[in-house]
Amino acid sequence: MTHEYDDIINLPHPTSSRHPRMSLYDRAAQFAPFAALTGHSEAMQETARETNSRIELSESDCEELNRMVLYILSHINEHPKVSFTYFKEDKLKEGGEYLSKTGNIKKWDDYKQLFILEDQTSICLKDIIHIIINI
């Protein structure tokens, strides 16, 4: 039985004298998926990311916080170890997140109203919602 391509089936593979053979890696790259919407998946993830809104403290909570701050400032030279819970604003969207940080206080910046810890973390007084002094 004869087939349509019997005359060429056993011939050697043609090679060009002008163009070198393409590697298998380069041939496969021709068929790689094309990302028409570059950055789209990252934008969707950013939109889906949730943030928290800032908590408004009650008057009694503010008074307690003020007492703690006064105590810390009166003992600032002793570099007390303190745990802060504070709000950090999100740079990309409205809201932010609440973080907790424990460390020894290095100094107080009266002008900027910042506590600066020994590891150089700066915590703004207006962002603090809770303080625990570790004695």
| Tens digit of each residue's pLDDT (9 = 90 or more) over 36-76 | 777 788 888 878 888 888 889 999 999 999 999 999 999 99
Interatomic CA distance for residues 80 and 82, integer angstroms: 6
The pLDDT value given to residue 88: 94
Question: What band does 28 get if pLDDT is binned at 50, 70 and 90?
Answer: confident
Residue 86 scores a pLDDT above 80: yes
Interatomic CA distance for residues 124 and 110, integer angstroms: 11
Assess contact for 116 and 107: CB atoms under 8 A: yes
Average pLDDT over residues 107-125: 95
Residue 107 makes CB contacts below 8 A (sequence gap 6+) with 76, 116
